[in-house]
Amino acid sequence: MKKLAFVFASVLFLWLLGLPVALHADNTVPDDRFALKGLQQTRTIFDVRLAELDKLLFNLGLIKETFEGISKQKVKPTMIVSLRGPAVKLFTNDLAPTELKELVADLKKKGIRIEICSVATRVFKVDNTQLLPDVILVGNVLTSQIAWQNKGYALITLN
pLDDT (tens digit per residue) in 120-136: 999 999 999 999 999 99
Predicted pLDDT at 136:
98
Q: Does residue 5 belong to any structural domain of this protein?
A: no
Q: What is the mean pLDDT of the chain?
A: 89
Q: Does residue 141 belong to any structural domain of this protein?
A: yes
Mean pLDDT of 134-159: 96
Handedness of CA 37, 80, 48, 152 (dihedral sign): negative
pLDDT value at 2 more than 70:
no
- The pair phi, psi for residue 40, each rounded to 5°, is -105, -20
Q: Does residue 46 belong to any structural domain of this protein?
A: yes
Which CATH number belongs to the domain containing residue 65 in this structure? 3.40.1260.10
Domain extent, residue 55, equals: 30-158
pLDDT value at 9 more than 70:
no
Q: For the chain, how many structural domains are there in total?
A: 1
0.85 exceeded by pTM: no
Predicted pLDDT at 23:
52
Q: Does residue 109 belong to any structural domain of this protein?
A: yes
Q: Does residue 9 belong to any structural domain of this protein?
A: no
Q: Does residue 4 belong to any structural domain of this protein?
A: no
For 14-31, what is each residue's pLDDT tens digit? 455 555 554 555 677 778
Comparing 8 with 126, which gets the higher pLDDT?
Answer: 126
Residues 112, 134: Cα–Cα separation, whole Å: 10
